[in-house]
Amino acid sequence: MPDQRTEHFMAVRILLVDDHPIVRQGLRTLLQGRGDWQVVGEASDGIEAVEKVESLQPDVVVLDVTMPRMNGLEACRLIQQKQKNKDSGLEVLFVTQHDSPQMMREALDAGARGYVVKSNAARDLLEAVESVSQHRVFTALARSPQASG
Amino acid sequence: MKLRILLADDHEIVRRGLCALLQKREGWEVCGEASDGREAVEMAKKLKPDVVIVDIGMPSLNGLDTTRQLMQHDPQFKVIVLTITDSDQVIREALDAGARGFVLKSDAARDLVSAVEALQSKRMFFTPRVNDLVLAGFLDKGHVVTRNEAPNLPTLTVREREITQLLAEGKSSKEVATMLNLSTKTVETHRSNIMRKLSLHSIRDLVVYAIKNNIIQIQMPAQNHSAPETTVA
């Protein structure tokens, strides 16, 4: 079976995970600004996210924290665990309404590479996806975007 | 002639999603976007949209009080309230405020277009949960649960509710005065009246009251996290 990631190695393949379809639509609209990026799928909770990561092999998972069935932190841990031996290069970026340093720390501890607050997603999302797709950390609480290698 | 819609939500990402959804419909246009209730009221007065869609949990002026202010200015405004919860109290307050539509944010992609269509046809639109509640009220009491039957809320004026939210969000009387173009003394008077009417003794009590009565909302943490964050949703 061909590797979907190598077939489109120039593009960033993104999986959107949020329990609100309207938020996924908003994220999709924002990401469409980048012609070389492709939203390859959507999921509405953590369990579906883990399944779709397996089947779609995205480069970046844009993940909400608070979701039904399985929250984003648990999903992130599970995704990282499953990806550990695959050398996939997959990165997780949290987009959440929790404007909290504590939650940000937990997200990074769970294996995420980026953290963006939903209220500032329009400002930070593109830069964050760009950073994490290049395996650089991007964290931004409401007032302080920070990207680092 | 196009149907003109004003959107009010503090999250730009949600507004983008709503815009994308609504503008797929031929003949509909989003004529303005507001990021809080105060801005929504000003824009609605200026733009006179056919439909106003307001998020319930906005900073500065929440969606329920935005609806009250809009209806007070012009009862012909058609307002749809977007909410993350359909608790009995929120439903009653939305009805009481004058909303003609009530849509859960989680169902917006499915229901919002239908809601706008309903209002366009001079009908109301509510989620099944609201319909059940209204029907239950009708059956129980022989009439529809609506205005003046809101649950045991002390009668704060529109201005007092507005000031309650701002104080509960942590603003000082001076900051509130600046925001509302009032004198600090006037705000202090309102503050005293609010505390007296509600039998409250501290700002902490006021914050608790504001949370309990959906004037501000708590953002719950993800599962497996103990401490809730008290932020305005």
Would an 8 Å CB–CB cutoff place A24 in contact with chain B?
Answer: yes
Please tell me the predicted confidence (pLDDT) of residue B140. 61
Query: Taking CB atoms and an 8 Å limit, are A24 and B233 in contact across chains?
Result: no
Rounded to the nearest angstrom, the minimum Cα separation between A94 and chain B is 13
User: Which residues of chain A does B225 touch, with a Cβ-Cβ cutoff of 8 Å?
Assistant: 103, 106
State mean pLDDT over A69-97: 89
Whole-number percent of chain B with pLDDT over 90: 49
Cβ contact A61:A79 at 8 Å: yes
Query: Taking CB atoms and an 8 Å limit, are B10 and A19 in contact across chains?
Result: no
Residue with tokens 């229901």: B111
Q: Give the pLDDT confidence of B169-195 residue by residue, as tens digits.
A: 889 999 999 999 999 999 999 999 999
Interface predicted TM-score (ipTM):
0.77
The top-level CATH class assigned to A4-148 is alpha beta
Residue of higher predicted confidence among A1 and B43: B43
Give the CA diameter of chain A.
45
Give the nearest partner residue to B231 out of A72, A73, A99, using CB atoms.
A99
* Band (B130; pLDDT cuts 50, 70, 90): confident
Please tell me the predicted confidence (pLDDT) of residue B27. 92
Please tell me the predicted confidence (pLDDT) of residue A140. 86
Return residue ranges of chain B for CATH 1.10.10.10: 152-233
Would an 8 Å CB–CB cutoff place B219 in contact with chain A?
Answer: yes
pLDDT of A144 strictly over 80: no
Please tell me the predicted confidence (pLDDT) of residue B88. 75
Q: Which of A89, A12, A139 lies closest to A148 in space, CA to CA?
A: A139
User: Which residues of chain B does A22 touch, with a Cβ-Cβ cutoff of 8 Å?
Assistant: 14, 17-18, 21, 105, 108-109, 112
Would an 8 Å CB–CB cutoff place B230 in contact with chain A?
Answer: no
Residue of chain B whose Cα is closest to the Cα of A24: B17
User: Which residues of chain B does A72 touch, with a Cβ-Cβ cutoff of 8 Å?
Assistant: 222
Q: Give the least confident one: A40-49, B63-72, B207-216.
A: B207-216
Query: Taking CB atoms and an 8 Å limit, are A22 and B19 in contact across chains?
Result: no
* Band (A1; pLDDT cuts 50, 70, 90): very low
Cβ contacts of B49 within 8 Å, gap of 6 or more? B4, B5, B6, B31, B32
Structure tokens given for B194: 């609010």
User: Which residues of chain A does B83 touch, with a Cβ-Cβ cutoff of 8 Å?
Assistant: none
pLDDT of B92 strictly over 90: no
Return residue ranges of chain B for CATH 3.40.50.2300: 3-141
In DSSP terms, which residues pair with B68 in a beta bridge? none
Give the nearest partner residue to B223 out of A25, A28, A71, using CB atoms.
A71
* Band (B71; pLDDT cuts 50, 70, 90): very high
pLDDT of A40 strictly over 90: yes
**C-alpha distance from residue A106 to each of A29, A76, A80, A102, B79 (Å):** 28, 11, 14, 6, 39
Q: Give the least confident one: A93-107, B40-54, B94-108, B136-150.
A: B136-150
Q: Give the pLDDT confidence of A95-122 residue by residue, as tens digits.
A: 998 888 999 999 999 999 999 998 888 8
Residue of chain B whose Cα is closest to the Cα of A67: B222
Please tell me the predicted confidence (pLDDT) of residue A148. 52
Burial degree of B34 (CB within 10 A; 0-12, 13-18, 19+): buried
Residue B14 φ/ψ, nearest 5 degrees: -70, -40
Give the nearest partner residue to B13 out of A27, A67, A73, using CB atoms.
A27
Domain B152-233, classified CATH 1.10.760.10, yes or no: no
Q: β-strand A60-63 against A37-43: which pairing, if any?
A: unpaired
Q: Considering the domain B3-141 in this protein, what is its CATH number?
A: 3.40.50.2300
Query: Taking CB atoms and an 8 Å limit, are A29 and B105 in contact across chains?
Result: no
Rounded to the nearest angstrom, the minimum Cα separation between B189 and chain A is 34
* Band (B90; pLDDT cuts 50, 70, 90): confident
pTM value?
Answer: 0.77
Q: Give the pLDDT confidence of B141-158 residue by residue, as tens digits.
A: 544 444 444 445 567 888
Residue of chain B whose Cα is closest to the Cα of A100: B229
Q: What's the rounded Cα separation, in Å, for the pair B178 and B161?
A: 17
